Structure 1
């Protein structure tokens, strides 16, 4: 989608272009819900959830996790500490995490929006069957892209539209080096739907997010956190599998629309896209 075709951001949804060498390093889907008494009383319900997923996620870890509240322009605020159950797939590429307040699916082996949303909805349905969770108050899907390599970063002004470059590509005097630039933008799309975009150039051995391991070389990142909140307790997201799948799919489509608006056709070709 080059400049002449872009139009206004979120004006239309672009077509899919598969990228065989996509720089996508992880995708996270999450459903948040009010604390449940069945999860607070003992570990029985959580153990039943673990058992129900044993075939697809055979490895389990149990521990304590401190919840961090992150809002744009505000300090990170720690909240309560609670139990967390982490289930890993046999290939160690996907992780399901359950706390008394959130169900999370994370994968480094993303196979497309349809299958990812289907799996998140399946997990939600299993949780509903075991705990009778009635609804969710937030759904989110987050994509973390990271470009590395001297050749790729050298072409960045051709791969990404100027709005996302910041000082990348700006001519610098001798002895001056751009060490770090990171921008953050929050877009309100309507009806509780939002998209938080973070993008910029990072030096070696650094990361913008403590949950994303650093790499030993410079990188350029594009992180898209697409979510919908349901603050009115009378109008939550239904816990039914179809409702969860549709809500997650809407999040993925917003993220994809922004992604395609941000990148050029050269980006698609560089990572194996047929355009």
Structure 2
């Protein structure tokens, strides 16, 4: 299917095709907010949040966030910038992270778009009840897809459209091997809405993002970070659960639209979709 048959990117939403063997390595949902005095003063509010989630997320870790500072000719210096509380589900597949500035939900076991966004909204509603956070200045949903296996990677030109291949599949002279290729594109979709797409082939034991563990074999990744920012506090995202759910679903649908535009019918069939 060529570009003309697929239509322009984001021209219309494509039909969802559930994949029983989806190559999702992780899904992340995040809400950012301004620094709150109730979280800065002591750990009381954070402990209330942890206690309220104890049944679904019984394991907790407390640490410090770190920021990395780069200077020409100088080693990278990590600097502690604040506390972070990480709550893990009983099956260790999902993590809720809270800092004084962000609420994050990450899972390696994706339950579907509506359920995932609904859980992020529920967490936001609980945080609002405890901290009285008035609004959020950024909402994001990020999907990290990773294809592995020699047989799958050999079929890559049939699984994804040419815009996503780069040099993958290009004829190479004897003795030449494509070891690494990674492309990045930032798409602006209306006022404040953006989608950052990263895609390419990685060698074994490597990753493009320090937060995504490497795998011991070559892989091809498609990472889609769909987000919306609200720089004007007067037009920020209300902290209400229904508002968060709606905004997160829009971000997730935007990422899905790009994903369906990027992959072929062969991809859908290869990973268990009925097409």
Query: What's the TM-score once normalised by structure 1's chain length?
Result: 0.95
Aligned to 2:8: 8
2:133 maps to 1:133: yes
- Contact (CA 8 Å) 1:2, 1:265: kept in 2 or not? no
Q: Identify unmatched segments of 5+ residues in structure 2.
A: 70-75
2:94 maps to 1:89: no
Aligned to 2:173: 173
Q: How does 1:10-49 map to 2 (within 5 A)?
A: 10-49=10-49
Distance, in Å, in 1 between the alignment partners of 2:140 and 2:23 is 20
Distance, in Å, in 1 between the alignment partners of 2:235 and 2:67 is 25
- Contact (CA 8 Å) 2:64, 2:80: kept in 1 or not? no
Indicate how the Cα distance of structure 1 residues 46 and 207 shifts in structure 2: closer, same or farther if over 3 A, else same.
same
1:80 Cα deviation from its structure 2 partner: 5.9
CA RMSD of aligned residues (A): 1.5
2:261 maps to 1:270: no
2:56 maps to 1:51: no
Aligned to 2:246: 246
1:273 Cα deviation from its structure 2 partner: 0.4
1:207-259 deviations in whole A, cap 9, x for unaligned? 00000010111000000000000001111000000000000000000000000
- Contact (CA 8 Å) 2:87, 2:95: kept in 1 or not? yes
Aligned to 1:148: 148
Q: Identify unmatched segments of 5+ residues in structure 1.
A: 70-75
Indicate how the Cα distance of structure 1 residues 126 and 27 shifts in structure 2: closer, same or farther if over 3 A, else same.
same
Aligned to 1:73: none
- Contact (CA 8 Å) 2:82, 2:99: kept in 1 or not? yes
Query: What's the TM-score once normalised by structure 2's chain length?
Result: 0.95
> How many residues were matched structurally?
269
Distance, in Å, in 2 between the alignment partners of 1:103 and 1:31 is 5
Indicate how the Cα distance of structure 1 residues 68 and 110 shifts in structure 2: closer, same or farther if over 3 A, else same.
farther
SS in 1 for 2:217: coil
SS in 2 for 1:190: coil
Distance, in Å, in 1 between the alignment partners of 2:274 and 2:34 is 44
Indicate how the Cα distance of structure 1 residues 252 and 134 shifts in structure 2: closer, same or farther if over 3 A, else same.
same
